[in-house]
Amino acid sequence: MENSAGIVKPQYVTFRDDFSFESGRVISSVTCCYETYGKLSEDKSNAVLVCHALTGSAHAAGFHRADEQKPGWWDSMIGPGKTFDTNKYFVICSNFLGSCFGTTGPSSVDPSTGKRYGIRFPVASVKDMVKLQKRLIDHLGIEKLLAVAGGSMGGMQVLEWGATYPDMMKTLIPIATTHAITPMAIAFNSIARFSITKDPRWNKGDYYEGEFPVDGLAIARMAGHITYLSDPAFNDKFGRRYSAFEGFYDFNGFFEVENYLRYNGYKFTEVFDANTYLYVLKAMDIFDLSYGRGSLSDAVELIKADTLLISVSSDFLFPPYLTEEIYDIMKYQGKKAFWYNIQSNYGHDAFLLEFEELDRLIREFFADRGL
């Protein structure tokens, strides 16, 4: 456990006043699950907020139990002496609104009916997620964050934070993300959506008492896995190796890549909720930083924090040109913005893998600002 954030415990806070969604819908109580690493300084000036991606959780670092196999999702980045050094910083990660890992979402029980929300839960947008995170930060008594950082859908939250609460942070670190996903990314999400909703066991979202739409969710996840990799990553990882359990010409024969997708697709169904997957895809699809703010330039104009934008050369889900777009606007507006395009074959997943590069870039960015 050297350099580890150690054993951590999820914490919960329930806000018992109305929570209004961007859509106008309201629920009467919201629970937020979060974890923290390091110690909050007396003047509460050393906090960093880390935002998780599509299927992540508040468990960003350390272990829940000593015998846990895998640490939190960004453990390589958060811990004593690491990029987000818990000897210096108080790092917070909260499970976003609409998720299934402790924060209120479609798989939660609706207190007004005593039944699971299912698809009666309001669509939770990235703006809504950030709104709940803001409540958490207020609840912790923090007035200004040193940084808001995150990759992929986490990066969308970072951008939304910067535009909605521009005085709340010194820096923003959006990684492998965009102000609005491409129609190609939406197309992938469509495959996932159809897979789940056309699984007869989905039952319009009311499957909690019956059979779970395992196949639909597994296929949805398989489609996701394609987008997290890249052509070179597929070539390096699998090539055309065949896991010939019956033979090349056998109707049921499999290539290794298919085995990988199947294994990971079905494994995912053991931990993730199908309705939740539909909701988080929806949030990803409809996120548009410019929405309700005029143009993208108008939205970016709101940001005050120094911003380190990071993209990945082989990311075809969030291609680098999307990051470049934001960077160009920021530069044009005279903002303190920096853009680095990591040269990596890992594709979108690089934000979870290219730690050395991320570490170098973020350390330098922090050091230059005396953080």
Q: Which is nearer to a second copy, 72 or 213 (CB)?
A: 213
Q: Is 263 helix (H, G, I), strand (E, B) or coil?
A: helix
Helices (H), the chain: 126-139, 153-164, 183-197, 214-228, 231-237, 256-268, 274-286, 296-301, 320-332, 355-368
Known catalytic membership, residue 64: no
> Residue 107 phi/psi, 5° resolution?
-90, 0
Q: Which two tokens stand for residue 158?
A: 């970072």
* Contact predicate 74/248, CB 8 Å: no
Maximum pairwise Cα distance, the chain: 68
Known catalytic membership, residue 348: yes
Find the part of the chain contacting a second copy (CB under 8 A) among 64-72, 92-100, 168-176, 254-262: 254-262
Q: Is 13 in the site for a second copy (CB under 8 A)?
A: no
Q: Is 348 in the site for a second copy (CB under 8 A)?
A: no
Pairing of strands 30-37, 11-15: antiparallel
Cα(88)–Cα(141) distance, integer angstroms:
18
Among 6, 10, 15, 22, binds a second copy (CB under 8 A): 22
Residues pairing with 78 in the sheet: 84
Minimum Å gap between C-beta 314 and a second copy is 11
Q: Is 44 helix (H, G, I), strand (E, B) or coil?
A: coil
Q: Which is nearer to a second copy, 1 or 184 (CB)?
A: 184
Our CA dihedral for 338, 72, 346, 366, rounded to 10 degrees, sits at 20
Q: Among the options 85, 128, 288, 315, which is catalytic?
A: 315
CA distances from 240 to 42, 144, 228, 256, 264 (A): 57, 51, 19, 7, 18
Q: Give the per-residue contact string, 271-290, with a second copy (x = CB under 8 A; - = no).
A: -------x---x--xx-x--
**Residue 298 annotated as lining a ligand binding site:** no
Pairing of strands 47-51, 11-15: unpaired
Among 200, 211, 333, 343, binds a second copy (CB under 8 A): 200
The DSSP-derived string for 286-308 is H--TTTTSSSHHHHHHT--SEEE
Minimum Å gap between C-beta 177 and a second copy is 16
Q: Is 212 in the site for a second copy (CB under 8 A)?
A: no
Known catalytic membership, residue 315: yes
**Residue 128 annotated as lining a ligand binding site:** no
Q: Which is nearer to a second copy, 121 or 272 (CB)?
A: 121
Q: Which is nearer to a second copy, 140 or 186 (CB)?
A: 186
Find the part of the chain contacting a second copy (CB under 8 A) among 50-58, 159-167, 238-246, 304-312: 238-246
Among 15, 316, 339, 355, binds a second copy (CB under 8 A): 316
* Contact predicate 61/78, CB 8 Å: yes
Cα(82)–Cα(73) distance, integer angstroms:
14
Find the part of the chain contacting a second copy (CB under 8 A) among 44-52, 80-88, 160-168, 250-258: 250-258
Q: Is 70 in the site for a second copy (CB under 8 A)?
A: no
Q: Which is nearer to a second copy, 61 or 278 (CB)?
A: 278
Find the part of the chain contacting a second copy (CB under 8 A) among 20-28, 31-39, 165-173, 350-358: 20-28
Report which of 149, 182, 130, 128 is spatially closest to residue 48, judged by C-alpha positions: 149
Q: Is 296 in the site for a second copy (CB under 8 A)?
A: no
Minimum Å gap between C-beta 368 and a second copy is 34
Tell me how long the chain is: 371
AA letter at 315: D
Question: So which residues are the catalytic ones?
Answer: 152, 315, 348
Contacts with a second copy, residue ranges (CB under 8 A): 21-25, 119, 122-123, 125, 180, 182-184, 186-188, 190-191, 193-195, 198-200, 215-216, 218-219, 222-223, 225-226, 229-231, 234-235, 237-240, 248-251, 253, 255-258, 261-262, 265, 278, 282, 285-286, 288, 316, 319
Which residues are part of a known binding site for substrate? 221, 349
